[in-house]
Amino acid sequence: MAVYTEVTDEALETFLAEYDIGSIVAFRGIAEGVENSNYSLKTSRGDFILTLYEKRVDPADLPWFLGLMEHLARREITCPQPVRARDGEALRVLCGRHAAITTFLPGVWPRRVRVEHCGPVGAALAALHLAGADYKPRRVNALGSHGWRPLLDRCRARADEVQPNLTAELDSALTEILAAWPAALPEGHIHADLFPDNVFFLDERLSGLIDFYFAATDFLAYDVAICLNAWCFETDFSFNVTKGQAMLRGYETIRPLSVEERAALPVLCRGAAMRFLLTRLYDWVNTPDGAMVTRKDPMEYLRRLRFHRWARDEHSYGL
């Protein structure tokens, strides 16, 4: 989450006049994240999130995202729900951006990840994968393996400013990853961004999942690899195999991994690390001055990538 587009009081009042959600009580920008402009909206009828979709989001994909969230909620996955205006539409335009209001989920994301968080996250991810199985529309993962080389090329001119010889290391690692990338694994709809700040807990229990705007159709085990990267490394960038084991066991209580998925975990984890390294690198060198946004250090994912290049099989992750 972030704020790139400012919303004036007048524009907000005109926009909300199309909804039956009460009058404005409070409205503020949310600085966390890097993708869209997000605001906390409190009205006389409750709490909501207002999102303005920025340039990286294809407007043609927005009905798919909103439809997936509604679909998952009908199958008992706790996630934000689009709020429809009086005309029945969930997607509108505000300040020159496509925009939507979603329900607010109570809870707190874990600032310090503990082993006790990882099992429930794994189980929630597997439940999401099963719940999405009968959502018929598909969405190609724009940030999947086919997109990594073009993204690196867009960073190439300035990558070595971030760290000397970074371009050469990424070229070498990406060549290895793409050569070993699986041709066929079980596919479905994945969250693709289930980081700690997108998972809420209440009273030590997982209470909901948010931010589905990277969701896509891709290998289910790739989503597991994203979570291993996001949840199971310590602050010194060592991999905590106990956390990995807890996450994978939690996942497999709901959906067991196939033999092929297990064998592919090291390269899937390398790919997941590369994906987030490249998008963070691109944002690091291209975020406009003055944007209300928290940039994320791409080098954190270089350290993860180096670990995965060493890992040889699923036992490195706790299986």
* Helix, strand or coil, per DSSP, at residue 11: helix
Backbone angles phi, psi at 189, to 5 degrees: -85, 130
pTM of the model: 0.93
Q: Which domains does the chain have, with CATH numbers?
A: 9-103 (3.30.200.20), 115-317 (3.90.1200.10)
Give residue-wise pLDDT tens across range 269-317: 999 999 999 999 998 988 766 555 567 889 999 999 999 999 989 999 9
Q: What is the dihedral of CA 68, 69, 72, 73, to 10 degrees?
A: -150
Residue ranges in the chain whose pLDDT is less than 50: 1
Judged on CB neighbours under 10 Å (0-12, 13-18, 19+), 179 is: exposed
Q: What's the pLDDT score for residue 1?
A: 42
What pLDDT does 22 receive?
Answer: 94
Question: Residue 141's pLDDT is what?
Answer: 96
